[in-house]
Structures are given as structure tokens and as C-alpha cells.
Structure 1
Amino acid sequence: MAAFEVRGGKPLHGEITPQGAKNEALQILCAVLLTSEPITISNIPDIRDVNKLIELLRDLGVKVGKLATDTYIFQAEHINLDYMDTPEFVAQAGSLRGSVMILGPMLGRFGRCQLPKPGGDKIGRRPMDTHFLGLEKLGGKLTLEGLDFYRIKVEGKLTGTHMLLDEASVTGTANILMAAVLAEGTTTIYNAACEPYLQQLCRMLVRMGANIQGIGSNLLTIEGVQSLGGTEHRMLPDMIEIGSFIGLAAMTGSEITIKDCQIPELGLIPDTFRKLGIQIEFRGDDIHIPAQPHYEIATYLDGSILTVSDHTWPGFTPDLLSIVLVVACQAKGTVLIHQKMFESRLFFVDKLIDMGAQIILCDPHRATVIGLDHTKRLNGITMTSPDIRAGVALLIAALSADGTSTILNVEQIDRGYQFIDQRLNALGADIRRIQ
């Protein structure tokens, strides 16, 4: 098991380019299963979850060629459906949350798919009901084997229908969408997720020959087609990395420029960090964060305490609430962090409290942060990364702290952040990877 040894208290300086978007990659890569023609994808992040998904696709029979560091060509001409019956497939798919994204493409093109309960972050209940309810409405027949193995198949062809999703699930919408593009007739998906990454998937499918209306809204209309062709696709920069770097600059009093951010796709992220008092400058498509010795949390117009909460797009993404929470530890003022979607995502705050942060964990979903205003530094400690986003939040805390911190289980961070220690060391951080 690897760990990071972090010597904190050093301001950083320089430019950093965000990786390709992890959450987009998991959808886009599985979409290659929808056609027998080649698809070229660029700006693919070199992270554990994505690399494991590419390996899974290769073992299913997808031809995979690496054209450049971040560019691959895929061709799913001959898929080995029998591989899904092997123990190797069960082990692979069960260790990777992103494996759930093969359901829609496999059912749409081949008429069947099976999957063990996928892995991923332990951040609370992450039910898959939306995926299966939508696929069943298209004609799929679901069979459960125990509580941790799913089989779904269709007799004949999937058939378009109207559906109202019980939640605006991003991965659920993507799975249903990828099945519906090859279904007979018209499918309407109401209460669909509309995140930029899902819009990217829609545009890629349209270039492949799909007929999708309502892209960017919560009502998608899909006219099924007989088959799809190949295309080229470039993924967006990772908005979660961009937000993490904004928070890192503020917490460590650093001057950092984040390059090539696709700012129009960031939604409320810049303005949410501005509410914490962080200065953010747009320079073309770059984001510049000047060094700030202090930043002050805004209040509401009536003077009451600010609440930052997550919501479905275009609301604030839940993946950045851990970053907002840790950045607030050194702000001036008080903020209530309300994590609505996952009941275990705030449990890492005990490590921040041990470092000297002033946080009250109100319940599994809410934490009140009383900022220290840089009058007192956090202290370095030994801690464990519980999930991807909390792991990076703890890394940011360690980089701002006095003394040396050790972060265990950094494989969690590696799942979502590409060579994060090397890239931050290039800005002046002191992070050493140890066993």
C-alpha cells in the first residue's frame, strides 16, 4: 500500500493543466461498444479507474490501440460475450464502479449483459435502481442472483417508450441513453441528467449517427436507429480537478494559473469559490488564482450564515464539497456544508479536526466550519484517504499544514487524479510517495 509523505507550509507557484475528465471518460469509453467501427478518443486521463476500464474493454474483445499519451483508438468489431461468464470478468467488473456503464451499450447492441455489483468509493448508498428501471422500460428483463449479481437481456429488440426517471442520475441517464439510441421507435427521458459530460456523450453519439433532441435539457428525445458508425471525440478537462486546484491555491496562499479550463462548462464552480472569498481571474480560457493571505466567506443579504450544498446540474457538483469544506477551514467566517446526496462523504472531517480545524459535524449530511483565517496553521498528522475526493481534500490540508503529514491508502487518490504528486511537486510542493 502506498502513502504520501507531505511536508506542508510551502506556497506553490506556476501553471498546471487539468487532466481529461474522469467522469466523462467512464461513459465515453463504454460507448465504443455501440459500433463495430473505429472510434478515436483523446484527452483520456491516465488514472487507475480509466485504465482498468480500458483493460476490461480489451478483455471483452475490443481492439485497443494507443496513438499518443492521451489518445486511443477503439474498435468493438468482435465482442466475446462468453467472457462475461468467467471469474476474471466478475473480478474485474466488481472492482470498478465505472463497469456499470457497459450495461446500456451491451443491451442495446447485443441484447444482453451481466454484471456483479460494481465497486467504487465507499461514500454511502449508491443504488442502481434508476439504471435497471429505465432499461426494463425499454424491454430488458432483469434477473437478480442474490444481492450482488445482475443479468439483463431482451427478447428481440428494445422498444422506445416514455419514462420519468426517479432521480436525475448521470450514469443512469447515460446507460438508458446508450441503450435507447439503438431501440426501435421513440424514447423520451424526462428528469434526465444534463451535466456537461452527459452533453458530451450525446454529441458524440449524434456524430456516430444517433438522433437525439434536447441535449443540455432534462428532457431527451431519442429516435432509435439501426446502427451507429465511428467518430473522433475529445474529452473536456476535469472540472473536479479545476475546482481542486482553485481550492489548493487559496488554502496554501499560492499563485497558480490553471490552463485550458473550458470555462463555459464549469457552471457554478467559480462563483461558489468566490463566495468563500477566493479571487478568481479569467484570462482567456485560463483561470488565474493570485496569492491571498486571507479570504472571507460571504454571508446572505440578511447577514445569515452561508450554506454551500450540492444539487443536480446546473447546481453545484457534490464531488467538490469535500474541497470547499477543507478550504473553508482557513477562511474568515463560518459556512454550513450540506452534502445531500451521500451520507458518508463528510466522515473524513475527523482528520481535519485532529489537524486543528474547527468543524462541527452536525449529522452525516451537514458540517459547520468556523474558519481560522490563517491565524493558526493546521498541524501535520498521519491519516488515511477514505475516497477519491476526500483524499485530495486531505492532501490540500496537508500541503497547508505545519510539519509533515502522512496520507495512507493513496491508491484512492490515484483512481481519480493523474500523477498528482509529480504535478504538484512541479509547482513547488514537497510530496514523497512511499511504501
Structure 2
Amino acid sequence: MATFIIEGGHQLKGSIQPQGAKNEALQILCAVLLTPETVTIHNIPDIIDVNKLISLLEKLGVKINKIGAGSYTFKADEVNMKYLESAEFKEDGKGLRGSIMIVGPLLARFGKGYIPKPGGDKIGRRRLDTHFEGFINLGAKFRYNREDHFYGVEADRLKGAYMLLDEASVTGTANIVMAAVLAEGTTTIYNAACEPYLQQLCKMLNRMGAKISGVGSNMLTIEGVDTLGGTEHKMLPDMIEIGSWIGLAAMTKSELTIKNVSWDDLGQIPDVFRKLGITIERKGEDIYIPAHKDGYEIQNYIDGSILTVADAPWPGFTPDLLSIVLVIATQARGAVLVHQKMFESRLFFVDKLIDMGAKIILCDPHRATVIGHDFKSSLKATTMTSPDIRAGVSLLIAALSAKGSSTIHNIEQIDRGYERIDERLRAIGAKITRVN
């Protein structure tokens, strides 16, 4: 187990380049299974979760060649379906939630797909019903082995269908889309997720020969085709990392430039941070954040009531950034209610911030009220353990703002989603050391 030692209370300065998007990578990498031809992908983040998925694809028989930093070619012309029934796969698949998205492509192309109950962050229930109900709608037969939590779907040839998803699940929509592109006939998916990363997947599939319309809306229409070909694809910058660096700049009163953020794909993110009082300037495709020497003030609603920041399916605010919002608010002028609707355990890390001196009232598993210090008292350095990716980065930001030396254990959780984070933070002046 690795640990970060952080000496906080220092201003940072410079520019930082966001990595490729983790959540996009997990979808795009699974899509290479849909064709025997070569798929070239650029801007792949070098993080644990993505590397686990690349390793899983390799064990499935996909020929993988690294052609540069973050760039790979994939050729799935000799897929080893027997691996899916091995004890090794049952162990490999459990360690990564994104592994669920290999099922749709395998089902579409080979008529069957299996997966053990996948792992990932411990942030509450993350059900898989949407995925499998979609496959069943397309004509697949579903089975589940309760003893070893092993799921399976099988079909000779999928057939297009109309479906109304019970939730706008991003991974569920991606999985169903990847299954439907090779199905016979037309598939209509209503209440589909429409996040930029899902739009990226659909655009890539269309370049491969798929016929998907309605991209960017909550209704997708897919005309099935017989085969897909190869393509080349570059992933978007990671919007969650961009939001993390905005929070870091505010909490450390630092002047930072976040490079090449793809502004048009950020949705409400800049506006939500502006409501928290943070100055965000657009300079081309970069975000410039000046040093907030006088702090920042949370805006109330026009009737004077307290601001609420809540997550919602796109184009609503992403749940992955609510942990960052919560940390930022601890040093703001004013108060905010953070409402985490989608995961019931994601706010439980606030006890660590309270130990650091933050004024937070955990109302229930989904809501927390934060009363900001306005930098009149800094957070206190402490020792803590990272519970998941996003909470881990939030605690790291808190530690970088706190005076004194903090220790964060279980940083493998942070490494799952952030590429060489300690090296990149040191490059802008952070005092952070990795200890194995």
C-alpha cells in the first residue's frame, strides 16, 4: 500500500494539462471488440483502471501495440472466447467496474458475453439491471449464477427493439448501443444518457460504419449493420480532472492555467464553480484561474436562500465533482447545500474533513451543508485514508491547503483515476511525496 506525504499551505503556480478522459476510455476500449480491423486510439490515460482493462483485452486475445505516449493500436481479429469461462477471468473481471462494457460488444459479435460482478468504488449500490434489461430487449437470454456472482447473456443474432431505459445510465447506454450496432433491424433507446463521452463513443462507432442518429440527445436510433471496420479516435480531456484542478487553484489561492480543456464539452461545470465564487476565465481552449487572494464568496439564490449544488444526468452537473465542490466550500464565504442524489455512500468521507476543522453538517447519506471558513482559519493537517477516487482527490486538495504535514493512505484509489498525480502536482510547486 502506498502513501502520500503532503506539506500543505503553499501557493502553486503554472499550467497543467488534463489527462484523457477515464470514463470515455473505458467505453472506447471495449468498442475495439466490435471489429476484426485495427482501431487506433490516442490520449489514453495511464491510470490503473484503464491499464487493467487493456490487460483484460490482451488476455481476450486482442493484439495491442503501444505506438506512443497514450496512443495504442488494437486488433481483435482472434478473440479467445474461452478466456471468459476461465477462473482467471472471474478474478480479473471483478477488479474493475468498467469490465461490464465488454459484454455488449462480445454479445453483438460473438453471440455471448459473460462477466463476474464487477468492482470499483465503494460508493453505494450501482446496479446492472439497465445493462441486462437492454440486452434482453434485444433478444438475449440472461442467466446469473448466484454462488459466484457470474452474469451471462447469449443470443444467436440480436434483433432491434424499442426500449425506454429506467435510468439514464451512461455505462448502460454505452453497453446497449455497442450491442445494438450489429443487431438486425432498428433499435430505439429512449431516456439514453447523452454525456460527451457517450457522444464520443457514438461518433467513433459511426466512423466504423455504424448508423446511429440522435447523438447528443436522450433518444438514440440505431440501424443495425452486418460488420464494422477500423478507425482512429482521440479522447477528450477528463472533465473530472479539470474540475479537480479548478478546486485545487481555489483552495490554495493559486494562479493556474488548465490547458486544452475542450470548453464546449464542459457543460455546466464552469458555471457551477462560478456560483461558488471562483473566477474562471476562458483563454482560447484554456481555463485561467487567478490567485484568489481575497477568497471567494458563494452566491445565494436571487431570493436570498442558500445555494444548492446537486448532481443530475447530463447536461446536469456530474456527480463525480460533488466531492470537489464540498471541499471548495469549506473555505468559501457563505454556505452551500451539497445534494448527492445518485450514490448513497459518496458523502461519508466528510468525517475526515470535519477532523481537519471543516464546518460540515451531514444531513443524511445524500445531503451535506457546508459553512465556509473564508480562510479565517485553515484546515488542520491530519492522517487519513482514501475511500474512493473522487473522495481521495478531494482529501488531497484539502491537505494541500492545510498548514502542516498530512498523510493519505490507500492512494491506489487515487491512482485508479489520476495519471502520475504527484509528479504533475510537483511540477506546479506542490510539496507531495509518494512513499511505498
Structure 2 gap ranges (5+) = none
- How many equivalent residue pairs? 434
Aligned 1:24-63 pairs, distance under 5 A: 24-63=24-63
Cα displacement string for residues 126-182 of structure 1 (whole angstroms, at most 9, x for unaligned residues):
00000000010001111010061101101x210000000000000000000000000
- Rounded to whole Å, the distance in 2 between the matches of 1:141 and 1:157 is 11
Runs of 4+ in 1 over 3 A off after TM superposition: none
Cα displacement string for residues 100-123 of structure 1 (whole angstroms, at most 9, x for unaligned residues):
010100000000011100000000
State the partner residue of 2:354.
353
Aligned 1:223-262 pairs, distance under 5 A: 223-262=223-262
Alignment partner of 2:287: what SS? strand
- Rounded to whole Å, the distance in 2 between the matches of 1:40 and 1:394 is 36
- Rounded to whole Å, the distance in 1 between the matches of 2:69 and 2:46 is 8
Aligned 1:232-381 pairs, distance under 5 A: 232-293=232-293, 294-381=295-382
State the partner residue of 2:98.
98
- Rounded to whole Å, the distance in 1 between the matches of 2:429 and 2:299 is 30
State the partner residue of 1:215.
215
Aligned 1:166-177 pairs, distance under 5 A: 166-177=166-177
TM superposition score normalised by structure 1:
0.99
**1:332 Cα deviation from its structure 2 partner:** 0.3
2:64 maps to amino acid: V
State the partner residue of 1:428.
429
- Rounded to whole Å, the distance in 1 between the matches of 2:57 and 2:109 is 15
2:281 maps to amino acid: E
Alignment partner of 1:82: what SS? helix
- Rounded to whole Å, the distance in 2 between the matches of 1:98 and 1:87 is 19
- Rounded to whole Å, the distance in 1 between the matches of 2:161 and 2:274 is 43
Cα displacement string for residues 379-420 of structure 1 (whole angstroms, at most 9, x for unaligned residues):
100000000000000000000001010000000000000000
- Rounded to whole Å, the distance in 2 between the matches of 1:140 and 1:395 is 45
Alignment partner of 1:115: what SS? strand
**1:358 Cα deviation from its structure 2 partner:** 0.3
Structure 1 gap ranges (5+) = none
**1:54 Cα deviation from its structure 2 partner:** 0.2
- Rounded to whole Å, the distance in 1 between the matches of 2:36 and 2:251 is 48
1:431 maps to amino acid: I
State the partner residue of 2:80.
80
2:277 maps to amino acid: G
TM superposition score normalised by structure 2:
0.99
State the partner residue of 1:9.
9
Alignment partner of 1:152: what SS? strand
2:221 maps to amino acid: T
**1:57 Cα deviation from its structure 2 partner:** 0.1
Alignment partner of 1:29: what SS? helix
Which moves more between the two structures, 94-103 or 144-153?
A: 144-153
- Rounded to whole Å, the distance in 1 between the matches of 2:119 and 2:61 is 22
- Rounded to whole Å, the distance in 2 between the matches of 1:36 and 1:366 is 47
- Rounded to whole Å, the distance in 1 between the matches of 2:304 and 2:6 is 38
- Rounded to whole Å, the distance in 2 between the matches of 1:48 and 1:69 is 16
Cα displacement string for residues 234-255 of structure 1 (whole angstroms, at most 9, x for unaligned residues):
0000000000000000000000
- Rounded to whole Å, the distance in 2 between the matches of 1:425 and 1:367 is 32
State the partner residue of 2:131.
131
- Rounded to whole Å, the distance in 2 between the matches of 1:232 and 1:373 is 48
- Rounded to whole Å, the distance in 2 between the matches of 1:93 and 1:68 is 27
- Rounded to whole Å, the distance in 1 between the matches of 2:259 and 2:35 is 34
- Rounded to whole Å, the distance in 1 between the matches of 2:410 and 2:98 is 20
Cα displacement string for residues 263-321 of structure 1 (whole angstroms, at most 9, x for unaligned residues):
00000000000000000000000000000021000000000000000000000000000
**1:35 Cα deviation from its structure 2 partner:** 0.1
1:194 maps to amino acid: C
